[in-house]
Amino acid sequence: MKTEREFAAIILAAGKGTRMKSTLHKVLHPIAGRPMLMHLLDSLAELEIQRTVVVVGDKREQLDAALAKSDITTALQEPQLGTAHAALQAREELAGFTGNILVCFGDCPMVKAATVRKLVAALDDGAKVAVLGFRPNDPLQYGRIIADRDGRVAKMVEYKDATEDERACDLCNSGLIIAHSDDMWALLDGVGNDNAQGEYYLPDVATGAIARGDRVAVVETDAAEVAGINSRAELAAAEAQWQDDQRDYWMSEGVTLRAPETVFFSYDTRLAADVTIDPNVVFGPGVTIASGAHIKSFCHLEGATIGEDCSVGPYARLRPGAIMGKNSFVGNFVEMKKAVLGEGAKASHLSYLGDAEIGANANIGAGTITCNYDGYFKYKTVIGERAFIGSNSSLIAPVTIGADAIVGAGSAVSRDVGAGDLRVVRGEQSVKPGWADRFHDAMKKKKAAEKND
């Protein structure tokens, strides 16, 4: 949906985030493998926002680095005198911009584009300012919004400045606020700091609009959507909420989760209908799974592409660059990294396949490894269609095994094997009749002698 007016966003992220007790900026802490700030930016991107400014302060260099490849700019708040003061720091970056301006917080990553559209609609309906409210189970020390049944705001007040009657109101301020640029800058300039904290509060934008007779509207949303993240516990709660939402979403899309609460997704996991996922599976970033695939228990997948009707695990690990063709199979304790398993190929157990290309219907025996690293460089192993690699084989790259070739169990292969050839590379067996019996007898006598001393 394209808004009728131009649209800009100011994201406040200048706080020190001391409760996180971290050297990493608060808004860069990840949810489902993606920094919380990026979750918010992804939502805002759906609104076709023309310009976005992130207001920074503490650890500015981290945010500048995180945003370096985008067209998002930053503005410094120093000193930090409150949220209204922070929003004003974006004025220079938005010089010449005319349109709606949304001010929101970088530590509220769950805000949805659909909710912001409701705020925009409130402006289109005649409000000069629109704010986002919510009703938490415990209002705690949130600022309050005093409004009538039609959503017209009479007053906004911080908890520390509220009367007992105002604190009894359960409609709380999320901090999100929107107004046209013609109103936003004037109202921000008019915010004072005559309050218990001596700070310039963003909600006073609404207070100033009410004082001059403008209509201020409140839009309500669910508390979970606007939950701020200020501590590790709140970060864990946000992660849990995000994962719950994703589980519900994927099941609604036709994915079977046998124990939903034990499956963990990444922000970019992509699953087709009729995928089945057993308990205790973790998806890192970059996983795509086609229809009919079955991911068994205790698997960890990252950067992997799984084809139709594949079977993975249990206890398999697929690392970045792992690609499984249709109807291929990896079993327990198989690890793949930058390896392609062709259609119908299988590695049933206890194998490492790295930097490898494995042809259709090839069979990789238990304990097989591709020796792809010499301490300095990586090398590739190529295994042809229908090749059979015997158990406990070491394929020392770079090496090519031809189609229909057989590598005997226990072989260490360092030279190419032709199509249809058999290669067996083993040390010659030596048999010494009776040697083991004589060894055991000698050791038992020695142990008995030591015991009697």
Active-site residue set: 349
Residue 193 assigned ligand-binding role: no
Residue 326 assigned ligand-binding role: no
3-class secondary-structure state, position 187? helix
Residue 14 assigned ligand-binding role: yes
Residue 5 to residues 220, 302, 330: CA-CA distances in angstroms? 23, 41, 53
Residue 107 assigned ligand-binding role: yes
Residue 123 assigned ligand-binding role: no
Q: Phi, psi (5° rounding) for residue 209?
A: -65, -40
State how far the Cα of 47 lies from the Cα of 358, in Å rounded to an integer. Answer: 44
Residue 127 assigned ligand-binding role: no
Question: What does the block give as tokens for 318?
Answer: 């697929």
State how far the Cα of 192 lies from the Cα of 207, in Å rounded to an integer. Answer: 11
Residue 249 assigned ligand-binding role: no
Residue 20 to residues 67, 139, 297: CA-CA distances in angstroms? 21, 22, 33
Residue 261 assigned ligand-binding role: no
Pair type for strands 129-134 and 172-180: antiparallel
State how far the Cα of 26 lies from the Cα of 238, in Å rounded to an integer. Answer: 13
Residue 15 assigned ligand-binding role: yes
Residue 373 assigned ligand-binding role: yes
Residue 391 assigned ligand-binding role: yes
Residue 315 assigned ligand-binding role: no
Q: H-helix or E-strand containing 45?
A: helix 36-45
Cis peptide before 314 (omega within 30 of 0): yes
Residue 409 assigned ligand-binding role: yes
**Burial of 5: CB neighbours in 10 Å, binned 0-12, 13-18, 19+:** middle
Helices and strands of the chain, counted as H and E runs: 9, 34
State how far the Cα of 132 lies from the Cα of 153, in Å rounded to an integer. Answer: 11
DSSP letter at 134?
A: E
State how far the Cα of 56 lies from the Cα of 25, in Å rounded to an integer. Answer: 10
Cα 410 to the chain's mean position, in Å?
41
Residue 100 assigned ligand-binding role: no
Residue 13 assigned ligand-binding role: yes
Residue 258 assigned ligand-binding role: no
3-class secondary-structure state, position 76? strand
**Inter-residue contact 175 to 158 (CB < 8 Å):** no
Question: What does the block give as tokens for 223?
Answer: 């508390």
State how far the Cα of 358 lies from the Cα of 248, in Å rounded to an integer. Answer: 36
Residue 74 assigned ligand-binding role: no
Q: H-helix or E-strand containing 137?
A: none
Q: Which residue has the tokens 């409140």?
A: 218
Residue 392 assigned ligand-binding role: no
Residue 337 assigned ligand-binding role: yes
Q: CA nearest 194: which of 184, 180, 208? A: 208
Residue 366 assigned ligand-binding role: yes
Question: What does the block give as tokens for 446?
Answer: 């020695």
Residue 372 assigned ligand-binding role: yes
**Inter-residue contact 282 to 316 (CB < 8 Å):** no
State how far the Cα of 302 lies from the Cα of 262, in Å rounded to an integer. Answer: 17
Residues tagged in the binding site annotation for acetyl-CoA: 366, 372-373, 391, 409, 426
Q: Please give the annotated binding residues for UDP-N-acetyl-alpha-D-glucosamine, written as ranges.
A: 12-15, 26, 77, 82-83, 143, 158, 173, 230, 319, 337, 352, 363
Binding site members for Mg(2+): 107, 230
Residue positions forming the annotated binding site? 12-15, 26, 77, 82-83, 107, 143, 158, 173, 230, 319, 337, 352, 363, 366, 372-373, 391, 409, 426
